[in-house]
Structure 1
Amino acid sequence: MEQIDHESRETDKKKELNILTFNCKNIQTCCMFFDELFNSTDIFLIEEHWLFNFQLNLLNELHQNICGMGKAVDDKDPINPTNLPRGYGGTGILWRKDLDNFINPLNIGNDRICCVKLLGSSKLLLVSVYLPCKGLPSDSLEFHNCIDQLHEIVQRYSDSHSIIIGGDFNENILNKTDTRRNKYLVDILNENRLYTEENGITFVNCSGKGTSTIDFLLFKQDFKENVICMETMDNVATNVSDHYPVKAKVKYIINAKEKSKCSNSKILPMSGKTLWKKIDKDAYKTLVEKGLDNFSSSLENKYEVDLAFQNMNSLLFNSAKSCCPAPSKRFRKPKLKVMNQEISDAIAMKKKSFLSMED
């Protein structure tokens, strides 16, 4: 996809979307990776960024034209920045800044599941997931818990959204085995009619002795016809992870006209002052109270506070706007035309005289 400047991208229709999932194994080593793939990728589903809660702002500093959101392993119990262990885990979703007005972050799932909604030709739910690897019995319990959460999310949004899930599943879902982990995961995917394609090896052990296929992009069956192509990118020069990115190009129309419908759009102040004397205050109060019912009663981290603050501003703004009477149109009087032909000729003559003097 050719690079398109920010302004023209918002005014034109974009008919294709390039989505990539990548277990980056420390996102702070990936700045050159995003430089290389920026022109050909719209949305990055990221796993194992290795950032802690207080470092998540770094996701917006990887590239001048990329922004996003993420979840960290210590979201519920933030680690003290003065005594940090080695980073691990975490999920995130990054997107080109010219898509920012079409995307809404969602606060659902645990730190291994990150979700956003995209508004375009249809409502699209994007999910980045990082499932636990094989290990202790407690890992198996966490694995099942993550699958259950993923199942609940898909069930909740299936009727109203198209769904794309990308991530490191730590299981080859195309190679069915008799293990409880594999069977549990595959059964849930089949129940929700999620499909993917075989695209070869996606993980190479650092010793070079082991390979596997554990990174996938999944789509709902009814979205399958929109998938143009899918590939494992094993030739990215700046990739320093032991995972290969998996990328898909899908048919999906993003039109600038849809921007105003997205609640994540930047809120602009209303022109002029709000005429509170003319506003239906009872209707305003009802709209605000109704909107407050949808707010979460508990805020556990900085991201939730920021999101709640943004949603509160949006609620108050939209409630006031809907109750405020439409302003009457003002027609400006035409400017007084003081320039006549004689004055115009005199000015032209003066300029001509001045130029001849310079010569």
Structure 2
Amino acid sequence: MKKNWDLKTDLPDDGSDRIVVMEIDANTDIGIIIVYLPCRGNNTKDNFCEVILEIEELLKKYSDTHALFICGDFNSSLSRQPPNDRDQILRDLVKNHNLHTDQDGEPTFFHASGEQSAEIDYILKNTLARDISSTVVTAGQQHSNVSKHTPVSTEIMITFHDKQNDLMTCPKPNWSKCNKFIEPP
């Protein structure tokens, strides 16, 4: 049995300047949608809604066939009370597309002044994704992290069917032979 395997990934033409889509060809096909939604500054609610509509199109395209992970900086919160307009739009997206999050409101963004913090970075999962991944972990503030955001992570169990041996295997990827290089953890 091979100890390493070539991870077939693809960056489809889907996405925009605020969305990147990556597909992983595995026993359960995986779609990773990385997002950066507009912040409140000079951007209007319309710009925010445009990106949400793009995400909805991707969800409609891939939800039935892929384990989907929608992750990134949403610049809105699922836990803020009371929710603002953007928060409600994100909550509607999660509800309407039956997305799941394990996060519990722990802040992922800390304003430079130190006076404000919010949970705005997420890994949202469809049901297929939830079935093949671990609980989302928020790293918390660390002195070595110079970003205003704290990392959130989940482990994805990638398997494929080994037709030659008719066995289910879960080998370690040979990252150097991937068609899109992904830095190993």
TM-score, normalization by structure 2: 0.78
Q: CA 1:182–1:104 in structure 2 vs 1: closer, same or farther (change >3 Å)?
A: same
Match for residue 173 of structure 1 among 66, 74, 78? 78
Amino acid at match of 1:225: D
Match for residue 3 of structure 2 among 9, 12, 18? 12
Shift in Å, 1:153: 0.6
Moved over 4 A (4+): 254-259
Q: 2:135 corresponds to which residue?
A: 229
Shift in Å, 1:165: 0.8
Amino acid at match of 2:8: F
Residue 185 (str. 1) matches residue 98 (str. 2):
no
Residue 153 (str. 1) matches residue 58 (str. 2):
yes
Match for residue 121 of structure 2 among 215, 239, 261? 215
Match for residue 142 of structure 1 among 47, 72, 81? 47
User: Pairwise mapping of residues 1-359 of structure 1 onto structure 2 (< 5 A)?
Assistant: 11-12=2-3, 101-136=7-42, 138-175=43-80, 177-199=82-104, 200-234=106-140, 236=142, 238-253=144-159
Amino acid at match of 2:31: L
* Structure-2 separation of matches of 1:182 and 1:112: 18
Q: CA 1:123–1:182 in structure 2 vs 1: closer, same or farther (change >3 Å)?
A: same
Q: 1:63 corresponds to which residue?
A: none
- Contiguous gaps of at least 5 residues in structure 2: 164-168, 181-185
Sequence identity of aligned pairs in percent?
26
Q: CA 1:244–1:135 in structure 2 vs 1: closer, same or farther (change >3 Å)?
A: same
- After superposition, the C-alpha distances for 1:224-248 in whole angstroms (9 at most, x for unaligned) are 2333232111255532111000011
- Tell me: higher relative CO, structure 1 or 2? Use CA pairs within 8 A at least 6 residues apart: 2
Shift in Å, 1:178: 4.7
- Contiguous gaps of at least 5 residues in structure 1: 1-9, 14-97, 267-359
> Does structure 2 conserve the Cα–Cα contact (< 8 Å) formed by 1:124 and 1:163?
yes
Q: CA 1:104–1:255 in structure 2 vs 1: closer, same or farther (change >3 Å)?
A: farther
Q: CA 1:175–1:114 in structure 2 vs 1: closer, same or farther (change >3 Å)?
A: same
Shift in Å, 1:119: 1.2
* Structure-2 separation of matches of 1:157 and 1:109: 13
Shift in Å, 1:201: 1.3
> Does structure 1 conserve the Cα–Cα contact (< 8 Å) formed by 2:101 and 2:136?
no
Structure having the higher Rg = 1
TM-score, normalization by structure 1: 0.42
> Does structure 2 conserve the Cα–Cα contact (< 8 Å) formed by 1:115 and 1:127?
yes
Q: CA 1:12–1:256 in structure 2 vs 1: closer, same or farther (change >3 Å)?
A: farther
- After superposition, the C-alpha distances for 1:142-165 in whole angstroms (9 at most, x for unaligned) are 100000000001101111111001
* Structure in which a larger fraction of residues adopt helix: 1
Shift in Å, 1:196: 0.5
Cα RMSD for the two superposed structures: 2.8
Q: CA 1:204–1:265 in structure 2 vs 1: closer, same or farther (change >3 Å)?
A: closer
Shift in Å, 1:189: 1.7
